[in-house]
Amino acid sequence: MGLQIDCEKFETQEYEAFGERLTESLEVLRALMARPGFGEGAPSLGAELEMFLVDAHGRPLPVNRQVLGQTKDPRVTVELNRFNIECNLRPGPLAGRPFSAMRAEFESALAEVARAAATQGARVAVMGILPTLREADLRPGSLTAMPRYRAMSTSIRRSRGEAPFRVVIQGEDPLSLEWDDVTLEGANTSLQYHLRVLPADFARLYNACQLATAPVLAVSGNSPFLLGRRLWDETRVALFRQAVDDRGEGSGEAPRPGRVSFGHGWAREGAWELFAESVALHPPLLPVLAPASPREHLTEDGLPRLEELRLHQGTVWNWNRAIYDPADGGHLRIEMRALPAGPTVEDMLANGALLLGLTLGLGGEVERLLPSMPFAYAQDNFLRAARHGLDAVLLWPERPGHAPRALPAPDLVRRLLPVAREGLVGAGVDPDEADALLGIIQARVGAGCTGARWQRKMLAYLEAHMPRPDALGALLERYLTHAASGRPVHEWPGA
């Protein structure tokens, strides 16, 4: 998040001062974006991967800080709960063979985390939600013992008036529970891709990404279980929204959206409006001030870090999020947050190739498509894809003046694969690399087997022979064995 957070509670005047800094930051960002040449540079690609630490029996092992202490790799850091860990992969150019470079990053980072974890008796599980999680694993003591996480938890609960979090998720085994802390969010792990884009292209590429996210999520699901219940193919989507909801109940205030959302409309002006929206709609959670105000750095050649704005944006979790980064002369990125972790490096690369390719491939025609695609339809597509996966029926804009057409997710993805290829190759990605990864998606659709589908079928098989808790543990062991082979999930044996 940039700024160092050393305290856990804040006074009213600190929130007020931080709010003033956010307003100032928006003014400075607008001025910065008006500078000739701001944000120019070749497109680049980066990623963040979250993981679970588990013990020899597949139970979550809360030793992330100890594991972090066993490595000097700057890519490795801790996450919200003590059994979560994260790798921030080094970015590289989009043109050429970016996914080959990212494969090497994934493999070296995972190997290093696995090495460090082994010193603490831990293994690494790369999946959207750990099937062996129990309620006891997510109690307040599971929060990583760092001020920034405790401060975030305290601030969200303060905003809620200390009311418990209510989580309700439908599925084959519906879930309904109340929780006292944000630790439920640590049940989720994801893979987040970052695409650097030119400011002038931001709005159309962001909208294209929003449009593309649902079909990609439908063929990428890997999170079908939570606390022993069969829920959505991407249960993370339903859980995350409720697990960090900072809105109290019955406050009498005008209703406002939750901090986790798909967005509130198509982008029209570009990145600035998305930052302004975050500031307008969401009160600060972590009101920590930088030593100098943003204006002090806005000289003719100065580059403001906008630390308060970046900190605030890091506490508003849109599934596709605008990022300002002062590195490399200052630039903008789209952070694509919807994809789950796992099952394998090849699966994650293929998911990324499809999402990035569609973002780039649809970018040239998105302005023509949007008049026929109300934003509410795209939002509904996202929820359908998260809940039903390959069984989702999604609306897709055909041409101007015609209503969107309802298509089964597999049929839609098959139609979109050439668009994704065109987007990747048009951006300079090696055609053979694009074909290989999109071929994994095509084979996955043909086999009807995502990570979520494989887990569901395996649980049904195992549960015929043993109680569900034992079946979930056995499922995890098979998952880890197959994932270690490196073969994409559609090639895994079903029993």
d(C-alpha 440, C-alpha 413), whole Å: 12
Query: Could you tell me the pLDDT band of residue 1, with boundaries at 50, 70 and 90?
Result: very low
What mean pLDDT comes out for the span 267-279? 96
For residues 49 and 494, the model is more confident at 49
Which token pair is 64? 């992330």
pLDDT-based confidence at 302, cuts 50/70/90? confident
pLDDT band of residue 420 (cuts 50, 70, 90) is very high
CATH code, domain with 29: 3.30.590
Q: Which domain holds residue 89?
A: 12-364+420-491
- pLDDT band at 250; cut points 50, 70, 90: low
pLDDT for residue 219: 98
**pLDDT value for 249:** 65
- pTM greater than 0.85: yes
pLDDT averaged over every residue in the chain:
94
> Is residue 373 one of the residues assigned to a domain?
no
Place of tokens 């809105």: 247
Measure the CA–CA gap between 360 and 95, rounded to whole angstroms: 13
166 alpha carbon, distance to own chain's centre: 22
- For residue 405, is it within any domain? no
* Structure confidence by residue, pLDDT tens digits, 28-65: 999 999 999 999 999 999 999 999 999 999 999 999 99
Task: Decide if 272 is inside a domain.
Answer: yes
| CB 41 within 8 Å of CB 329 | yes
Q: Is residue 152 part of a domain?
A: yes
Contacts of 377 (CB under 8 A, 6+ apart): 395, 404
> pLDDT band for position 297 (50/70/90)?
confident
Q: Looking at the 3D structure of the chain, how many domains does it have?
A: 1
Is 39 contained in some domain? Answer: yes
Task: Give the mean model confidence (pLDDT) for residues 95-102.
Answer: 98
Cα-to-chain-centroid distance, residue 311 = 17
Predicted confidence (pLDDT) at residue 247 exceeds the cutoff of 90: no
Q: Is residue 285 in a domain?
A: yes
- 180 versus 202: the higher-pLDDT residue is 202
pLDDT given for residue 2 in this prediction: 57
- Which of 165, 150, 164, 167 lies closest to 227, judged by CA? 167
